[in-house]
Amino acid sequence: MLNFDFYNPTRILFGTNTIKKINDLVPVDARVLVLLGGESARKNGTLAEVREALGTREVHEFDGIEPNPSFETLMKAVELIRAKKLDFLLAVGGGSVIDGTKFVAAAVGYEGDAWEILETRGSKITHALPFGSVLTLPATGSEMNNGGVVTLKATQTKLPFSSNLVFPKFSILDPNKTFTLPARQLANGVVDAYIHVMEQYLTYPVDGRVQDRFAEGLLQTLIEIGPLVLDESADYNTRANLMWSASMALNGLIGSGVPQDWSTHMIGHELTALHNIDHARTLAIVLPANMQIRRAEKRDKLLQYAERVWHIVEGDEEQRIDAAIERTRVFFESLGLPTRLCDYQLGAKDIDEIIHQLEVHKLTKLGERRDVTIAVSRQILEASL
């Protein structure tokens, strides 16, 4: 097992009727900015519930944080907070709104150009406004971690950042809030969480037995509930299990003490930036090809994954690995996520541009061994045609 430093102070209030607890969690004299994405929280009553819980506190709203939140939009929220002298933020939405709120929390008091926060991946953050979140879309895990991704619209650059100063003080996870979500977003959430786990699990063995078992448990849970979640009659517990799986998939726990990959994410980010494909959908394209191209390097973990997650015990080792990759692909497809570039009308001619962006962003040594060079990324993209 590798050495590690685990810290996660976010308080989680999980379950039915938990939004009203905001009243106990936000300081009584707080001047609050509620940050929102699209119209859904306003339309489905979640915003009204949040405002009721906030009672007589001074509350302002900031609408319109887009999927893949942009630096340009977020800086408008920063201006509003400075102008109104607000001191507590409340994100109401999914991963994009929460990621954006983290950036805003750090940028408000930042001396210098806030873009530096992203250029330095968060390492220059010295303080941040306190904030909480009300999660409406289970997927990214942002509600229980210290990271985010912000896009500079001008250049279509997606930059991740993290800091122990931007953990949410609390996150409210009420699974009932997912009942109005479109199937596409739920399916994306299942796959996003699944691939978050895979990035931390499918590397090479270091005898991290608890981490492996936890990762496998999350994958098994997501495989079980994936089809159930898409059923419109999905019950509360199915949604609750999705919500908790997605949080646990990326809160630092399963990645502590083990190697991590993240090359699928890095390549996927370029697909979103260039072709506006949903984040989870880019991952569903890249992961199966990534497993295929790097099967030698990931051999031991692929065999463990085949056996423990998919219960594949027939055939020789190569056949079991083939079967595990195929089952993974079929699982994503069964949820309505295509797994090939051609499904998005992208072909061999488009690969050069993606590769160019990886080079521009200096993503030339990816993966748990830093051996996913530009040449390997190209192979992965070619295998995903």
Q: Minimum distance between the CB of residue 216 and a copy of itself, rounded to whole angstroms?
A: 7
| Cα dihedral 120→362→102→42 (10° resolution) | 150
Q: Which CB sits closer to a copy of itself, 244 or 331?
A: 244
Least separation, in Å, of the C-beta of 102 and a copy of itself? 18
Closest CB 210 distance from a copy of itself, rounded Å: 5
223: left (phi over 0), alpha (psi -120 to 50) or beta: alpha
Where does this chain bind a copy of itself (CB under 8 A)? 1-18, 206-210, 213-214, 216-218, 220-221, 224-225, 236-237, 240-241, 244-245, 248, 253, 256-257
Which sign does the torsion angle of CA 39, 45, 50, 52 carry? positive
251: nearest Cα among 157, 141, 351: 141
- Nearer Cβ to a copy of itself (230/385): 230
Q: Among residues 109 and 217, whose Cβ is nearest to a copy of itself?
A: 217
Question: Taking the complex as a whole, how short is the minimal distance between the CB of residue 372 and a copy of itself, in angstroms?
Answer: 26
* Minimum distance, C-beta of residue 12 to a copy of itself, in the bound complex (Å): 4
CB 236 within 8 Å of CB 176: yes
Give how far Cα 207 sits from Cα of 29, 251, 257, 300, Å.
49, 21, 10, 12
Query: Between 256 and 339, whose beta carbon lies closer to a copy of itself?
Result: 256
- Is there a contact between 105 and 186 (Cβ–Cβ < 8 Å)? no
Least separation in angstroms between residue 175's CB and a copy of itself is 8
> Taking the C-alpha atoms of 323, 327, 329 and 335 in order, what is their torsion angle to the nearest 10 degrees?
170
The dihedrals phi and psi of 150, each to the nearest 5 degrees, come to -125, 140
Nearer CB in complex with a copy of itself: 150/240: 240
- Tell me whether residue 3 or residue 233 sits nearer to a copy of itself (CB atom): 3
